[in-house]
């Protein structure tokens, strides 16, 4: 059972200590860098620890883009020692449930980007209803879905 | 003329790109890590870029500790390419002026820590009126001053 818990002063050190798998540094920002961005976007985002059995196993940030408008899912990662257990998919389900409650703004559009050389991530996103928009930026492709 | 400007979405990338001098990684957190902490302490802290001639040359965070209470100066650094020009001392003067306005709480106590193997930093702090409290934590010593 995977759950999301907001990053606070009580658990941020656990997020600092999460490790990207070798090679994933090319695809995903580390939670430390993501939380630094959360500072400047603090009025429109919510960073979470991903928890399994009460232990932080990963990280994800949800940010509301008022310009589009849309929800963006940023920097989702699972610690290298905790991968291959389905936590990413369960965390994505929790994130979509969270966005469905429209906590930061009214849009039902949900977007994320995926590195083109990361087919496993793309497959995961497509399994949850995301599809490619055709928009690309260097090595990243955009995928979107709509929540009710 | 050195000035402080709040870190916002307009300048945080400049803070991300500041470089600690070789060896200083042992003494000082990088601004990215500091801003990640700023996220969780966002209601009691203010991170700044240190500017000279309109360019960000360094970084410093002021945080109010409600428990002591006191102002703490965290993570002050000047980019490795901009050191030796007196920017650290001028920035410290601006920080003390900022704290003197009591922006985050009523205390006039100002504290910081300095690595024991960093006598240049200690000398700078003492030149501005800080003195050692005798409190030490591993390699760090605490210095304090009082503003009116």
- Locate the domains of chain A by residue range: 2-146
User: Kind and range of the H or E element at B111?
Assistant: strand B109-115
DSSP bridge pairs for A64: A71
What value does the mean pLDDT of chain A take?
96
DSSP character at residue A73: E
User: Residue B24: its pLDDT value, please?
Assistant: 85
pTM > 0.80: yes or no: yes
**A35 reaches B (C-beta below 8 A):** yes
Interval B99-128 mean pLDDT: 94
Checking if the pLDDT of A113 tops 90, the result is: yes
Res. A26 pLDDT band, cuts 50 70 90: confident
CATH class as words, domain B2-146: alpha beta
Q: Find the radius of gyration of the CA atoms of chain B.
A: 14
Question: What residues in B contact A47, CB-CB < 8 Å?
Answer: 39
Q: What end-to-end distance do the CA atoms of chain A give, in Å? A: 24
Q: In what order do the strands lie in the sheet with A70-78?
A: A2-6, A45-52, A55-65, A70-78, A109-115, A140-146, A131-137
Predicted local distance difference test score (pLDDT) of residue B140:
94
ipTM of the complex as predicted: 0.93
B10-25 mean pLDDT:
94
- Paired strand residues for B52: B2, B55
pLDDT digits (tens, 9 = 90+) for A36-80: 999 999 999 999 999 999 999 999 999 999 999 999 999 999 999
Closest in B16, B39, B47 to A35, CB measured = B39
B62 contacts in A (CB within 8 Å)?
A: none
- Per-residue confidence (pLDDT) for residue B27, from 0 to 100: 82
Contacts of A40 in chain B (CB under 8 A): 7-9, 12, 35
Residue A147, phi-psi category: left (phi > 0), alpha (psi -120 to 50), beta (remainder)? beta
Examine the pLDDT at A24 and tell me if it is beyond 90: no
Bridge-based pairing state of the strands A109-115 and A70-78:
parallel
Return the higher-pLDDT residue of B26 and B65: B65
Nearest to B9 among A33, A35, A40 (CB): A40
CA gap B71, B23 in Å, rounded? 27
Partners of A29 on chain B (C-beta within 8 Å) are none
* pLDDT: which is higher, B79 or B138: B79
B12 near A CB under 8 A: yes
Q: How confident is the model at residue A96 (pLDDT cuts 50, 70, 90)?
A: very high
């Amino acid at each position: 059972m995977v759950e999301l818990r907001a990053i606070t002063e009580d658990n941020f050190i656990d997020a600092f200590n999460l490790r990207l798998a070798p090679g994933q540094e090319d695809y995903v920002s580390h939670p430390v860098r993501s939380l630094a961005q959360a500072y400047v976007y603090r009025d429109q985002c919510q960073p979470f620890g991903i928890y399994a059995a009460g232990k932080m196993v990963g990280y994800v940030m949800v940010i509301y883009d008022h310009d589009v408008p849309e929800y963006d899912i940023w920097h989702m990662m699972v610690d290298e020692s905790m991968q291959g257990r389905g936590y990413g998919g369960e965390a994505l389900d929790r994130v979509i449930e969270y966005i469905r409650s429209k906590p930061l703004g009214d849009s039902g559009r949900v977007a994320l980007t995926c590195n083109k050389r990361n087919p496993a991530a793309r497959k995961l996103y497509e399994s949850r209803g995301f599809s490619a928009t055709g928009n690309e930026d260097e090595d990243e492709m955009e995928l979107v879905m709509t929540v009710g």
